Amino acid sequence: MKKITGIVFIFIVCAVLSLTGCSNAGSRKNTFTFATWAAGVELQEFNEIINRVNQNADGKYKIEVLSVPSDYYIKLSTNIAAKKAPDFFWLTQELISKYAKMGAIADITDKLESSSNLTREQYYPGVLQSAIYEERCYGLPWIANPLIVFYNQDLFDEAGIPYPSPDGGWTWEEFIDIAKRLTTTKEDAFGNNYKQYGYVVDGWPNIETFIWAGGGDIIAENGVDVLLDSQESISGLAILNKILKAGISPSYSEVSSLGSNNVWFEKQRAAMFMGGIQDNFETKVNAMPENEQFRIGYAPMPVGLDNRSHSFNWTASTVMSKQVADNPLAYEIMETITLEFFKWKIAPPIKGEIDQVAKINPLKAPALDTIQICLNNARSANYVPEWNEINNSLWLKLYSKMLNDPDFDYESEAKAIAREARELIAKRK
């Protein structure tokens, strides 16, 4: 009996010790997990970076990769709910405020301020802004992918239209006018008629692009005021409406018939395309048979009614789980990995690294000046924790309806969504 009692006692002691150890395990450990949505080649490259960082750490710490190629955010949130959050993970810009609000990610403001390896000032302001919520920083953006206008120089030459300046300065009116001139009926090799469009819009670019073109916005920088129904925002929606009514883009239902919007540009069915600077049209065109190749030109986004050229930028950040926030190694690791990512992706989100774009993809070299302008103009929406719901309404109730019906009363709907957004934000605790 005594023996059994002794075993039970040892078991309880071990259990208590191991459980109490759990409470501060995050602040002492030196093996960390990093979750990524990368898969395939991207995952291989990611693993190579992590291996390099691990080697350089020389045993000081070790990073283990957690690859979640599908349902990333569902699995991530489930892990967080189960208190098994990865120590570091990628987070898209739209979710930073949400995760920060829910207390899932660590506030790194003070660590960023006190570091000299990677400073706030090094970042393009519009890029870093996406990782800020209520004036606190929650992530280190590792990529910048602002919009740029790709155009088909051969189709411009054919129509006798001078190229837009690579330094920008063209207005949305001029853009629409050029797109109209590039919209024409052509004949293919078999004698069948087909339509060549000046531009393609099908929900992409996102609605922010047009709202900003009018000088408006969806949510104000303070994260509270809703600007969607402002006169400027309505003017921006009017620009989108004008594009849709002008017939310069294939209809919404027609776009998907070629697979996706970018294919229209690749197949020379649309003369201009607004894509991220990372879009790899150059490699695709190079791989085409010679008679299908064309020359690509680059221009910054058109200037809006506020005299500014806004380039919607998609970025993602490396974020840190709150569990390891107190570990002195954690920020060092996060920073080291992020700095490595800068050598990997187009484009590095920090100033003075534009040449890196040509190193990563030499075919982008002719676009460097324009890419630099786009990076300077890069910005994202003012994301709030309610963003997904607001954005969902913007797509379902506004943008998709505008695409399906050019006579849709977008002004009334924008006002209705603005009211909903105000109610949602007012409920924020």
Partner 1 sequence: MKKSKVGFLFILPWLTGLVLFTVIPIIAALFISMTDWSIIGDANFIGLENFKAIFEDQMFYKTLLITVRYAIFAIPLTIFTALLVAISLNNQYKGTGVFRTIFYMPSIVSGVAVAIVFKWILDPNYGVLNSLLGILGITGPNWLYDPDWVLPSYLIMAIWGASGGLYIYLAALKDIPKELYESATIDGAGLIHRIRYITLPMLTPILFYNMVIGIISAFRKFTDAYILGGAGEEGIFYMVYLYGQAFSFYKMGYATALAWILFVIIFSLTLIVNYTKKYWVYSE
Q: Which positions touch partner 1 (CB under 8 A)?
A: 73-74, 77-78, 80-81, 98-99, 102-104, 252-254, 256-257, 388-389, 392, 396-397, 400-401, 404
- Please report how close the Cβ of residue 239 comes to partner 1 at its closest, in angstroms: 21
**Given the complex with partner 1, which of 24 and 253 has the nearer CB atom?**
253
The one-character DSSP state at 303 is B
- Please report how close the Cβ of residue 409 comes to partner 1 at its closest, in angstroms: 13
- Please report how close the Cβ of residue 73 comes to partner 1 at its closest, in angstroms: 7
**Given the complex with partner 1, which of 163 and 194 has the nearer CB atom?**
194
Sheet with 31-36: strands ordered across: 62-67, 31-36, 88-92, 316-320, 140-141
**Given the complex with partner 1, which of 80 and 244 has the nearer CB atom?**
80
- Please report how close the Cβ of residue 403 comes to partner 1 at its closest, in angstroms: 9
- Please report how close the Cβ of residue 77 comes to partner 1 at its closest, in angstroms: 5
Nearest to 284 by CA among 341, 198, 364: 364
**Given the complex with partner 1, which of 73 and 344 has the nearer CB atom?**
73
Q: Which residues pair with 195 in a beta bridge?
A: 185
The one-character DSSP state at 427 is T
**Given the complex with partner 1, which of 144 and 219 has the nearer CB atom?**
219
Report DSSP letters for 6-28, one per residue: HHHHHHHHHHHHHHHHHHTHHHH
- Non-local (6+) Cβ contacts of 218 within 8 A are 207, 208, 211, 226, 227, 228, 233, 381, 382, 390, 394, 421
Copy the structure tokens of residue 280. 């790899």
Residue 330 to residue 61: CA distance in whole angstroms: 9
- Please report how close the Cβ of residue 419 comes to partner 1 at its closest, in angstroms: 12
- Please report how close the Cβ of residue 397 comes to partner 1 at its closest, in angstroms: 7
**Given the complex with partner 1, which of 256 and 283 has the nearer CB atom?**
256
Residue 339, judged by CB atoms within 10 A of its CB (0-12, 13-18, 19+), counts as: middle
- Give yes or no for a contact between 76 and 36, defined as CB atoms under 8 angstroms apart: no
**Given the complex with partner 1, which of 242 and 397 has the nearer CB atom?**
397
